[in-house]
Amino acid sequence: MRILVTGGAGFIGANFVRLLLAEHSDDEVINLDLLTYAGNLENLAGVENHPRYRFVRGDIADRQLVGALLDQGIEAVVNFAAESHVDRSIADPDAFLHTNVAGTLALLDCARRAGVKRFVQVSTDEVYGSLGPTGVFTEQSPLQPSSPYAASKAAADLLALSFRTTYGLPVMVTRCSNNFGPYQFPEKVIPLFVTNLLDDQPVPLYGDGLNVRDWIHVADHCTAVAAVLRHGQPGEVYNVGARCERTNRELTELILAELGKPPALIRHVTDRLGHDRRYAMDPAKIERELGWRPRHEFRQALRQTIAWYRDQRSWWERIKSGAYTDYYERMYGERLRQGLPA
> Helix, strand, coil: what percent of the chain each, to 5?
45, 20, 35
Single residue of 59, 87, 157, 214 touching ligand NAD by CB under 6 A: 59
- Binding mask 150-189 toward ligand NAD (x if CB under 6 A, else -) reads ---x----------------------x-xx-----x----
State how far the Cα of 124 lies from the Cα of 218, in Å rounded to an integer: 13
Q: Which CB atom, from 76 or from 205, has the smaller least distance to ligand TDX?
A: 205
Which residues inside 183-242 make contact with ligand NAD, applying CB under 6 A? 185
Residues, the chain: 342
- Do residues 305 and 255 touch, judged by C-beta distance below 8 A? no
HSE-CB of 174 using CA atoms within 13 angstroms: 30
Residue 238 β-bridge partners: 174
State how far the Cα of 275 lies from the Cα of 280, in Å rounded to an integer: 15
Shortest spacing between CB 126 and ligand NAD, in angstroms: 7
15 belongs to the binding site for ligand TDX (CB under 6 A): no
HSE-CB of 311 using CA atoms within 13 angstroms: 8
State how far the Cα of 273 lies from the Cα of 3, in Å rounded to an integer: 38
Residue 135 β-bridge partners: none
Residue 128 among the catalytic residues? no
Shortest spacing between CB 260 and ligand NAD, in angstroms: 27
Of 28, 83, 128, 149, the active-site residue reads 149
Q: Which CB atom, from 186 or from 202, has the smaller least distance to ligand NAD?
A: 186
Shortest spacing between CB 73 and ligand TDX, in angstroms: 31
82 belongs to the binding site for ligand NAD (CB under 6 A): yes
- Do residues 169 and 161 touch, judged by C-beta distance below 8 A? no
- Do residues 214 and 135 touch, judged by C-beta distance below 8 A? no
- Binding mask 92-131 toward ligand NAD (x if CB under 6 A, else -) reads -------x---x------------------x-x-------
327 belongs to the binding site for ligand TDX (CB under 6 A): no
Q: Which residues bind ligand NAD (CB under 6 A)?
A: 6-7, 9-13, 32-36, 38-39, 59-61, 80-82, 84, 99, 103, 122, 124, 153, 176, 178-179, 185
